[in-house]
Amino acid sequence: MTRIPRSGAWLVVVPVVFVLIWSTGFIVARYGMPHSPPFSFLLMRYLLSMACFLVWIFWAKVPWPKNPNQWRHLMVTGIFMHAGYLGGVWVAVKAGMGSGLTSLIVGFQPVLTAIWLSYSLRGSDQPGVSRRQWLGLWLGFAGLLMVVWRKLTLGSPMDHVTPFNMVFALGGMLSITIGTLYQKRFVTPCDVRSANLVQLMAAFVVTLPLALAESEGMHWNAELTGAMAWSVFGLTVGGSSLFYMLIQRGAAASVTSLMYMVPPTTAILAWLLFDETITAATLVGTALTALGVSLVVRPSRL
């Protein structure tokens, strides 16, 4: 194999850039939602992203999934990991939930995934849920409750929690959890570009009737155009490409650990851009959640 110069520095910098890009997804929702209904925005995002991937696929002569089962499994993951996850996040933000809190709720997903996988391995030669993992689960839940409770009682009009937006935020978290578990179980390795296109096609079909049912129109201006452009090129195309390169370079563990920095990164960005409040309770709650997640997902010592 050809040696890549400065590969160590590359593996340090690119995961950080990836997390920064991923964190902006919640910020983009705050920029775009005042000017567009959520499902219409997502429908346009899927359409433009599909066009980009289609050009990339034909230009690079990327192979397509090989059999109908692979197509079907990719479509299911697309429905959960794009339509369900993004739909829940966008509706929650549109309904007034702050970007930082939405990110924190969705960021609890790795804990649910780890617990489910541990339970599914019971009866096999693999260990179940350890005491350390249970401690992490409860610490993460306590941290999340601390942040949510503050916003239930003290949240501003631009950053408040209601049963409506909480249901959609939790729905987004559950959707990406189910999609992740389904992908681990059924999706066989294939090129990420063609796989992304198939997933986006399924998300587009599911989102189309929801967008048509929305009465609010899209009011194009600089903020909405910028949010759309970054959603397509920065998040869907750029973020997916970086993730693909990191996995190919063997940095999956680095990406996994840095993903748990998304909620605090989003909270800082939301504070800088939207003046979303950061209090001591928010900081402590975020730290507890990050600690809890790390305890759950950290591999056990052999």
**Lowest-confidence segment of 86-100, 147-161, 262-276, 279-293 by average pLDDT:** 147-161
pLDDT of residue 4: 38
Classify the phi-psi angles of 96: left when phi > 0, otherwise alpha if psi is within -120 to 50, otherwise beta.
left
Give percent of the chain with pLDDT exceeding 70. 78
Q: 85-116 b/e with 16+ CB inside 10 Å = b?
A: bbbbbbbbbbbbbbbbbbbbbbbbbbbbbbbe
pLDDT of residue 226: 93
Each residue of 96-115: pLDDT tens digit?
887 777 887 887 776 777 67
- CA 46, 49, 51, 55 dihedral sign is negative
Task: Provide mean pLDDT across the span 197-221.
Answer: 95
Residue 217: alpha-carbon gap to chain centroid: 26
Average pLDDT, whole number, for the chain?
Answer: 80
Q: Reduce the DSSP state of residue 115 to 3 states and report it.
A: helix
Per-residue pLDDT at 82 exceeds 50: yes
Among all chains, which residue has been given the structure tokens 């040696």? Answer: 3
pLDDT of residue 126: 56
**Lowest-confidence segment of 43-57, 79-93, 152-166, 263-277 by average pLDDT:** 152-166
pLDDT of residue 103: 80
Residue 282's pLDDT band (cuts 50, 70, 90): confident
pTM: 0.81
In this predicted model, which residue has the larger pLDDT, 147 or 228?
Answer: 228
pLDDT of residue 184: 76
In this predicted model, which residue has the larger pLDDT, 54 or 245?
Answer: 54
Listed residue (46, 95, 293) closest to 177, CA to CA: 293
pLDDT of residue 257: 53
pLDDT of residue 88: 95
* Percent of residues in the chain assigned helix, strand, coil, to nearest 5: 75, 0, 25
